[in-house]
Amino acid sequence: MPNTRALRAIARALGRQAAREGVEMKFRTKAHYERMLEANNFASVGFLLAAHMVVAARRGIVDFDADKEEVGTVARRLKVQYGETLTPKEVLVEMATE
């Protein structure tokens, strides 16, 4: 299980470095997605967003640019298995299996 406090610190440091260099970094942590799902437990989640959540569960953090191939593979699997949208409960189950 990744240390979420350490991952948040790394994410903040990377964000500050990117800001200094004028680069936009796009990443989210597993904890961010878990909070989002808990706060919106009646929402539908698109299969691509769900794929980002699953990859974040695997690694503790997902980088939207660097993890494109892995996210794409997971997205295809989720779309075949669930269709266009998933429930938050289905996403949490997928995240837990990673």
Residue 14, both tokens: 């990377």
For residue 38, which of 91, 95, 88, 97 has the smallest C-alpha distance?
88
Following DSSP, what letter does each residue of 41-90 receive, concatenated? Answer: TTS-EEHHHHHHHHHHHHHSEEETTTTHHHHHHHHHHHHHHH-SEE-HHH
pLDDT by residue (tens digit) across 37-61? Answer: 988 888 899 999 999 999 999 988 8
Query: What's the structural domain count of the chain?
Result: 1
What is each CA distance from 7 to 30, 56, 59, 80, 82, in whole angstroms?
A: 9, 11, 10, 31, 30
pTM: 0.73
Residue 75 clears pLDDT 80, i.e. is over it? yes
Average pLDDT value over all residues in the chain = 82
**Domain region containing 43:** 4-96
User: Given pLDDT bands bounded at 50, 70 and 90, which one contains residue 96?
Assistant: very high
